[in-house]
Structure formats: C-alpha cells, structure tokens
Structure 1
C-alpha cells in the first residue's frame, strides 16, 4: 500500500531556475529618469555660468590687449614722429601698415586701425546690433559718441564728440544686453586743442 504525500515527496522536482533579467523594471526606469532630471537642473545652470565666465575672461583679455596697443602707438608716435603723415591723421607701423590717428592716439576704429594692432581671432566687424555671424565668437561695431553717453550707459561726459567701437559675444544684441567691452576716443578731430586719452572699459552686468 502506497503512502500518500501531503507535502512534496521530491522537493527537487519543484525547484525552479531563476531566469536572468532582460531589462529595467518600470520602477528602475522611473528612478533613472528622476536622477537625470535632478542632474540636469543642477548641472545645466553651472555649465551656462561657466560659459559666460569664459566669455567674460576672453573679453577682459581683449580689452587689456587693446589698452596696451593704444599705449604702444602713443610711444611709437613719440619715438618716430617722422612716420606721421602731414596732417597727423595717419601713422605707419613697423609692419608697414598705416593706421588712423586722432588727437595723437590710435583712433576709435576697428577696420583700419585696431585690426592691425591686436590679434583677436574669430571676430567680425558688423553693421547690426545683433551678433549672429556664423563661425565667429565675437562681433565688433563702430559707435559714435551718442551711444557712449546714452543715459543707459553714460560712459563719457556730455561734451564728448568722439567715436569708438564695441566688442560683444555671438548671440547677443548690442543695444538690449550689457555684455561687451569698448574703446572710445573723446577727441573730436585729428588735432584737437586739448587732446584726451582714449578710454577702454567693459560692462558685464547683463552677460
């Protein structure tokens, strides 16, 4: 007579082999998505801040180079006055390039003066307030005294009648965003009665 088993008589027959996981469970995927979202919230602003800081560092270096070039030209004019033309509006550099002079200083012009004095790559001169030049990191635009003494900027006194240029990053608008460096000569003619030293500066308040 056979005995009836009320529990498995052969436990080995009921063993199952655990199958390997074929992918993420829904819960795991939700956790991953949440973690990525948190990382994005934390990391993206820091990345943007680093990019802005890099732009500002480059622009500070630009304005330092421009100021140094301005002073170098003044020294060269003192040492080699024979390189000035008759009406003292042009000066010939050692390289043979002729630049514009205003009041005994390098004129506030990019295309025929400072482009020969400083080496700033990936920069294009434009005629628009929007800097959207493909392949360029910065734009340069000439501005008259009215732009510099505008109440929103007020970088020069109301008596100034000079001119200058402004350098600003690609993707920015010159008039709507204060993120630029500048060079301005307050001298209103080639031979003013009281020559004044051109100013350099920057405004990163809205970068």
Structure 2
C-alpha cells in the first residue's frame, strides 16, 4: 500500500500568499483611511450648497414679500410661511438661531454665542452636526469683521481642524458678504475642508 500524497500548501506557496496580502494591505489601507475624510468633505460641501440655496431663496422671497427688508439691519418676517418668524439682515438670513439655523434643513444642534469657540470639539448629542454662532473666530490668520459667523461642524471636529461649513451674515444693503475671510464667496457660505 502506498501512502497517499499529502494535501495542503507548501511553505513557499504560503509565503507567496502572505507577501501578496501584505502588498495589497500597504496599497489599500491608505485609500480606505481617506474615505472618512472624503466623506466629511463631501458632506460639508452639501451643507455649503444648502446654505447658498437658502440664502438665495430667502433673498428672492424677501424681495417679493418685504422689499423694505433689503435695507434693514434687522427685520422679522415669516419668510417661508411656516408660522415661525425668521430674522433677516438686509434681506438675507441673520447669522443666529432664528435666522440661518432655522431656515437651513440640517440635522444640527444649535450652540448660541459663547457656548463654543474655535477649539471646542463638536458633540451634537445624537445629531449629525453642531451649528454654532461664533462671534469672533480667527481662521487661517484672518478674523471676519463684523464677526457674525455660524459654523457647521461634523461630530468630533472643531473649527481649528479646518473641517467645517460656514455662513456670514450680510453686512450692508447691497447684500455683500464680509470680504476679509479668504474662503468667502459671493453668497456668504462656504466650506473649509483642508483638515477633514
């Protein structure tokens, strides 16, 4: 009787497989690590788009419903006919809880002035974002003036991480944004994603 040949892998075959798996891990793992930061960046760009859209819609509705609001530094109106009074500044949402925060449909916990600063870590208590009015923030060496600034932060992030969406309140009857912030756009909203 002949002994049956052994069924299994040789040592060389096992070593080759381990080397191939190691090479795949070195190439694939960094790509998967970047997925989280890419997801943060994409989400914040979506928040930025919502802010810009709401700002444009509010200005258009203000022109139709209350043209006098375009020249007022503070105007109360139910702009979207939902029974809630919204505060406008020069026809655009105010940078507070009764302005941009209640007009933008984003799952966020509101933090009023003084409750968060540039180094506060976002803990939205079951919601996706922290929405915070930060009266004065220096970011990338630039301080917006006047400092009416709302940031939307993903959970676990802080403004100093450079991973947030933002909104500036209008500063004049022409509806132009604060121009001192290097990443501002013509519609007062934007996203900083370099640190996501």
**Could you state the TM-score of these two structures normalised by the residue count of structure 2?**
0.72
Check whether the contact 2:63–2:91 (CA below 8 A) recurs between aligned residues.
no
* Residue-pair matches, total: 177
Which residue of 2 is the match for residue 64 of structure 1?
Answer: 49
- Please state how far the C-alpha of 1:124 moved relative to its aligned partner: 2.6
1:117 aligned residue (100, 103, 124): 103
1:164 aligned residue (142, 149, 162): 149
List alignment gaps of at least 5 residues for structure 1.
1-12
- Is 1:41–2:26 an aligned residue pair? yes
| Counterparts of residues 29-108 of structure 1 (less than 5 Å) | 29-81=14-66, 88-93=74-79, 94-108=81-95
List alignment gaps of at least 5 residues for structure 2.
178-187
2:169 aligned residue (182, 185, 196): 185
| Between 87-96 and 165-174, the greater mean CA deviation after superposition | 87-96
- Is 1:18–2:5 an aligned residue pair? yes
Q: 1:196 to 1:172 in 2, by over 3 A?
A: same
CA distance in 1, matches of 2:28, 2:152: 29
SS of 2:146's equivalent in the other structure is: coil
Which residue of 1 is the match for residue 128 of structure 2?
Answer: 137
Check whether the contact 1:185–1:197 (CA below 8 A) recurs between aligned residues.
no
Which residue of 1 is the match for residue 193 of structure 2?
Answer: 204
**Could you state the TM-score of these two structures normalised by the residue count of structure 1?**
0.69
Cα distance per residue 1:45-95 (max 9 Å; x no partner): 1122233222212211211211121121122222112997xx953111311
CA distance in 1, matches of 2:68, 2:90: 15
CA distance in 1, matches of 2:94, 2:23: 52
Cα distance per residue 1:108-137 (max 9 Å; x no partner): 12x32233322223x333434202445443
